[in-house]
Structure 1
Amino acid sequence: MLAVTADDHPSVAPGGPVAVLANPTAGRGRNRGLLPQVLHRLAAAGRPVRPLHAHTAEEAEAACHAAVADGASALVAIGGDGTVHRAVQAVAGTAVPFGAVPAGTGNDFAADTGFPVDPLAAADVIAAALRDGRTRPVDLARMTAADGTSRWYAAVLAAGFDAIVNERANRMRWPSGPRRYDLAILVELARLRPRRYTLRLDGVAHEVDAVLVAVGNCASYGGGMRVCPDADPTDGLLDVVVGGRFDRRTLMRVKPRIYRGTHVTHPLVSSYRARTVELSAEGITTYADGERALDLPLTVTAAPAALRLLR
């Protein structure tokens, strides 16, 4: 188990600036007009607020790393799970606290860790925590590829049908917007087949034929789909949910149940809990927090208390 505690890191200067990563395109831009109000409410904590500037996801991640290296006393992400994913790369395993203002299409990490769904209310909660010096630890997951490449994620790693659909949608140039994802689903449903996965859970090997594999630090992904409904980001463990040899009709019947988390009672679904998950299959690129991540094979390790939340 990878344990991270505040004692492992130097203290953060309490008067330093609050770095803010805002994604104006999150949620298709519907909350863009709230940004000045969110920044104003964060400033009520009595610390300088420093917006970070970036034009790409890679620049956003680099800006977060630079802000932390320059002495930011906190980092706040305004956006969805993708924005959170970029931001936590900079603060994971450090003493720099983090706040999430949900303003995206999918706000699963913010919801699963108790931030208000309203962006302004979330900003008020974060500002109050900053004023009071209050944080609470939550877990993250750390994934490592065969070549040693390593990244953190906050919510769920998808390594089955949903990851395959995302990969196809990202390769498509037409149509635009949500229709691209809908078309990718139709294409991949026509090609649906179980794939052979090898899972090694805390050293115990499992060979499975499956169409759905998810490794959750939190319960939800995709904007409220409770794919790992029993996952708890404070228990030091990862939840693994495997959907077995579904055919197209059965998968489409079961998929709506994921929003309620009741799919885990289906006889073709198996659930596990482990500290370390080794996962391999041919031709799968994973998606973590909705972002394109690492190719299989990879290892996911629970990182207890790796993030200090401003809540």
Structure 2
Amino acid sequence: MTMTYYFIVNVASRTGKGRKIWNRLEAELKRQKTDYRAYLTKYQGHAGELAEKLTGKHREQVISLVVVGGDGTANEAINGIRDFEKVRFGYIPIGSGNDLGRGLGLPKDPLAALKVILESKELYLMDLGRVSWGSKLEKSAYFNISSGIGMDAEVCRRVNAAGMKAFLNKLHLGKMSYFVQTVLTLAEMPKVLGSIQFEDKEKKRIGGVICAAVMNHRCEGGGLPMAPKASDQDGKLSVCYIHGVKRLRALFLLLMLVKGKHLEFRGIELEECAFCTLCLKEPLPAHADGEDLGDLVRVKYECLPGALKIMR
């Protein structure tokens, strides 16, 4: 039986170069006489709507769903999928951050990534993260890479709003936008009192919370190794949080973070867990894979082991 591949394509990725990349991919699909359907996104959130529509329409069968875009497009898509058991997921990373592609070890060349998908024989079972919030934790979102609250979420918000990312992408310096906004944000972010509970352990009070990054993969923000030993197949999330330090020291820790040596110093901690809950005295910005969740005071993070079946 011939397999049909359903492509969700963000042609606006990589500052508009996504369309040219898709043209190359589509030519290869036609050359190989691959049975496929393609759906181009037209606005933010459209990838999620398409994924929901496709997985709803084919809910009685397993479908091969391929996302062509950046980390944000991949996040939209997984949040639209109705039943992960019915989806074989493929990803061709063409964004600027590409933390998901890096974490999965996917080729940077789009045609090579397409070849991996078309020749895939075994599925890679990747853990997913889920973040919940609201007075009764009634709202939730999935994440592939990371979810966080505090400074890293504010950085994502600023990068997406400033226009700096698009400008630096044209100069092939997209990663710099995250670093520049991190330094600027650090000077202004409030430090908030809070508590964190890992699984069913006793709550731990933490003062002066700057940020908490809950990692499914090693890197976020375009390659920052927040959790150098994180695994997407261990059924756990790696929670890295900075607290109780002065801003100058926090800047030093961030510089060490770029080198992957941040865990050697006081003021930054990392713990692995299947789930955890963070409560804050004041709201801070939150994100899932860089997608803005608003300003929150209580969040729960949990790992969903092997939830996403990836053609790799």
Class of the TM-score when normalised by the shorter of the 2 chains: 0.7 to 0.9
Match of 1:136 in 2: 124
Quick check: 1:58 aligned with 2:59? Answer: no
Between Structure 1 and Structure 2, how many residues are aligned?
A: 295
User: Do the aligned residues in 1 keep the contact of 2:133 with 2:300 (CA within 8 Å)?
Assistant: yes
Query: 2:178 & 2:272 partners in 1: Cα distance?
Result: 30
Match of 1:11 in 2: none
Could you say what secondary structure the match of 2:40 adopts?
A: coil
Could you say what secondary structure the match of 1:36 adopts?
A: helix
Q: Structure 1 residues 44 and 70, CA, compared in 2 at 3 Å: closer, same or farther? A: farther
Q: Give the structure with the higher percent strand.
A: 2
Query: 1:187 & 1:142 partners in 2: Cα distance?
Result: 29
Match of 1:104 among 89, 95, 100: 95
Match of 1:35 among 7, 19, 22: 22
RMSD: 2.7
Q: How far apart are 1:181 and its partner, in Å?
A: 6.8
Amino acid at match of 1:151: A
Match of 2:289 in 1: 289
Of 184-193 and 114-123, more deviation after overlay is shown by: 184-193
Q: How far apart are 1:279 and its partner, in Å?
A: 1.4
Match of 2:188 among 186, 191, 198: 191
Quick check: 1:73 aligned with 2:63? Answer: yes
Q: How far apart are 1:152 and its partner, in Å?
A: 0.7
Amino acid at match of 2:276: V
Of 170-179 and 216-225, more deviation after overlay is shown by: 170-179
State the Cα deviation string for residues 183-215 of structure 1 (Å, max 9, x = none): 755653332442223211102211112212100
Q: TM-score, normalised by structure 2?
A: 0.85
Quick check: 1:260 aligned with 2:251? Answer: no
Could you say what secondary structure the match of 1:243 adopts?
A: strand
State the Cα deviation string for residues 127-156 of structure 1 (Å, max 9, x = none): 111xx4x21211001111125112110001
Q: TM-score, normalised by structure 1?
A: 0.85
Match of 2:268 in 1: 269
Query: 1:23 & 1:156 partners in 2: Cα distance?
Result: 21
Of 266-275 and 26-35, more deviation after overlay is shown by: 26-35
- Runs (5+) with no aligned partner, structure 1: 1-13
What does 1:166-181 correspond to in 2, within 5 Å?
A: 166-168=156-158, 177=167
State the Cα deviation string for residues 200-256 of structure 1 (Å, max 9, x = none): 110221111221210011111111111121110000001001112232322222213
Could you say what secondary structure the match of 1:211 adopts?
A: strand
Q: How far apart are 1:261 and its partner, in Å?
A: 2.2
Quick check: 1:150 aligned with 2:149? Answer: no
* Identity, % of aligned positions: 23
Amino acid at match of 1:286: A
- Runs (5+) with no aligned partner, structure 2: 169-175
Of 233-242 and 28-37, more deviation after overlay is shown by: 28-37
